[in-house]
Chains A and B, each alone.
Chain A
Amino acid sequence: AQKVTQAQTEISVVEKEDVTLDCVYETRDTTYYLFWYKQPPSGELVFLIRRNSFDEQNEISGRYSWNFQKSTSSFNFTITASQVVDSAVYFCALSVPYSGAGSYQLTFGKGTKLSVIP
């Protein structure tokens, strides 16, 4: 069975501070995918990043960066110089593709609510 743990339920930071959202996952499969989604107050989940288990390179996209470490089963997300518009709930998710089917189920963490205070 797969499991995703986001230990931080809520985080508050002052604007321009850096913040890291933690994600720890569990799976016995060697092939899997990890995702981060953002859920603004409107409710829709917005895709941020996908990473497969064979690609441990860290990624930077503007103020966002992701640190994938298989040794610790973690896929942490850092926002640099946070802004009020970053306020949202952030979900980490894990997918294990079914053999030969090319399809999958997503297992979500419980989310971290980030509040950026002006």
Chain B
Amino acid sequence: DGGITQSPKYLFRKEGQNVTLSCEQNLNHDAMYWYRQDPGQGLRLIYYSQIVNDFQKGDIAEGYSVSREKKESFPLTVTSAQKNPTAFYLCASVLAGTGVFSVTEAFFGQGTRLTVV
């Protein structure tokens, strides 16, 4: 079945440690996104990538890094510079066509809950 897979589902990080969240999709989607969700805050965009080897900062990119070496994969690294990383992280992908009427809905993974211990 096609979809987006995030792993792990739960992740614990020690202070000062970098951790990487995995996001893989087999939908052949061009664009991929990382969102952070905090209670009462909705979803906030961290990074997004429209094509392989290219990505852009979102609204809250500080303390995070990404790579897009393959179309299927968009891993997110939470670095030690991120002072408050405890949150729920969601990855999404979109089939980006050409023209304004080609927009489709975003598909989301099941999320990774990161906790600093």
Chain A residues with CB under 8 Å of chain B are 9, 31, 33, 35, 37, 42-45, 47, 50, 52, 91, 95, 97, 99-106, 108-111
Contacts and interface: CB of A to CB of B under 8 A. Distances in A.
Contacts of B33: 105-106
A44 B43 contact: no
15 contacts: A33-B103, A43-B88, A43-B113, A44-B110, A50-B103, A52-B101, A97-B103, A102-B98, A103-B50, A104-B96, A105-B33, A108-B42, A108-B44, A110-B41, A111-B42
B2 interface: no
Given A31-B100, A44-B111, A95-B103, A103 B42 contact: no
Contacts of A105: 33, 45, 48, 58
Contacts of B16: none
Given A103-B31, A103-B50, A47 B110 contact: no
B106 A106 contact: yes
Please report whether the interface of chain A is mostly helix, strand, loop or mixed according to DSSP. loop
B1 interface: no
Contacts of B42: 91, 108-111
Interface residues of B, number: 34
A100 B50 CA distance: 13
B102 interface: yes
B67 to A, nearest CB: 19
B40 A103 contact: no
Given A104-B94, A108-B43, A47 B106 contact: yes
Given A47-B107, A50-B104, 7 more contacts: A44-B109, A45-B106, A47-B105, A97-B103, A104-B94, A106-B43, A106-B106
Contacts of B48: 105
A76 B102 CA distance: 24
A66 to B, nearest CB: 14
Contacts of A110: 40-42
Interface string B32-68: 0101000011111100101000000010000000000
B59 to A, nearest CB: 9
Contacts of B109: 44
